Amino acid sequence: MRGTRFGMAALAASLLCGQANADTIKFGGILPLTGPGALIGTAEMHGIQFAVDQANAKGGVHGNKIEVQFEDNQAKPDQSVLSFNKLTDLEHVSVIFTGYSGPTLAMAPLATRKKVLLVNAGAQADALAKASPYLINTLPTIGDEIAVLSKWLVGEGKKQGAIMFENDAAGMSGRDDYLRSFPDAGGKVLAQEATQFGQTDFRPALLKLADAKPDVMLVAITAGLLQMAQEYHQLGLKFTVAGTTFFADPATIADPSSAGFVHTQLRIDAPPELAAQFKAKYGVDMEFFAKQYYSAAQIVLTTLDKVLSEKQPVTGENMHDTLLKIGKFQGLIPLEFKTNTASVPIDINVMRDGKDVAIKHIQ
């Protein structure tokens, strides 16, 4: 009898709690918060949380508080699938922020099946463009950046290339793009060498690529860039090093060994006062990935606002359809979704004197 009373009291308490949380809309975030990808994953998490906190401080969206439950996937596909199932089956979230190509590609079929909106603002493997109708990419694929980079390099007389790529979905996608775009632009690929995600000893790969005597080393790695730059410098190598937006690593830019590195850079700027607020809150600068995910969170919140205005239930399907119906967003940069993947302007940057300087703007 006492057990029954206790059970009824617990049920009543849980119902009351449920009512108290009825005005909270929960989203998910599956990002690498530990492991070699944690630096980027944490910046992405901060970007999302910053946008959500700002929205909540203004009273939420239509009076609903927004909460994001973050799961750590260590940039691993298998862990991502577990986290996806947890967030969708137990927490019933309709929108999940994601990053890194391998994990996102692993979750994409599940997103299609369960009609959950996946929002990627950091990964760029080409396969992401068509991985799932429920996957929205707020940045172009790496193929678009590499096409721009290859054309610029060949125009600068860097026609003999060697490729260093990470042996995972993003790295191999980058390698395939270099193999396609660099010859298309008039260059020739002399050699290619794989590295592992998270490795810091790049000397053997650098030496082998240097032996091919390239004008430029085309890089598709997402971790350990600073170590690669330092080892390149220690080995006394002279060829140009070129990459994509993943080169925008503050520590690498600040290190003298990266002088002369060139890369494409997706253009995204934060107003000074916003960047200052971010720094005051998290103690770090609002770098590229924080801006990207802040912008992505704004897109989701704008979409949610529209869904609630139209008195639709907040499902992945409604969020997806409404986002594509809105099409154009004015966040930190103007974004347009003609397909699942947004188009944005790209710059060519060069690292010099500890700074990353734009030397060419490309629409």
Task: Determine the Cα–Cα distance for residues 304 and 271; give it in Å rounded to an integer.
Answer: 24
At 167 the three-state DSSP class reads coil
What residue spans of the chain are helical by DSSP H? 2-20, 38-57, 77-85, 101-114, 142-155, 169-184, 203-211, 225-234, 250-254, 272-282, 288-309, 316-326
* Residue 229 Cβ vs other proteins, minimum distance, rounded to whole Å: 11
Query: Segment near other proteins (CB under 8 A), from 104-112, 220-228, 260-268, 303-311?
Result: 220-228
Of residues 16 through 55, those in contact with other proteins by CB under 8 A are 34-36, 38-39, 42
Nearest CA to 337 out of 129, 106, 61 is that of 129
β-bridge partners, 346: 266, 362
Chain-centroid distance of CA 75 in Å reads 11
**In the complex, least distance from residue 46 CB atom to other proteins, rounded to whole angstroms:** 13
- Exactly one of 55, 110, 139, 226 binds other proteins (CB under 8 A); that residue is 226
**What is the footprint of other proteins within residues 295-334 (CB under 8 A)?**
none
Stretch that binds other proteins, among 56-64, 102-110, 133-141, 198-206 (CB under 8 A): 198-206
- Taking CB under 8 A as the criterion, the residue among 15, 235, 284, 359 binding other proteins is 235
Number of residues engaging other proteins in binding (CB under 8 A): 32
Asked if residues 244 and 264 have their Cβ atoms less than 8 Å apart, the reply is: yes
Contact (Cβ atoms closer than 8 angstroms) between residue 105 and residue 77: yes
- DSSP code at position 59: T
Of 203-211, 277-285, 323-331, 335-343: span binding other proteins (CB under 8 A): 203-211
Contact with other proteins (CB under 8 A): which of 127, 179, 190, 194?
194
- Is 343 among the residues that bind other proteins (CB under 8 A)? no
Contact residues toward other proteins (CB under 8 A) are: 34-36, 38-39, 42, 167, 192-196, 198, 200-201, 203-205, 207-208, 210-211, 223-224, 226-227, 230, 233-236, 257
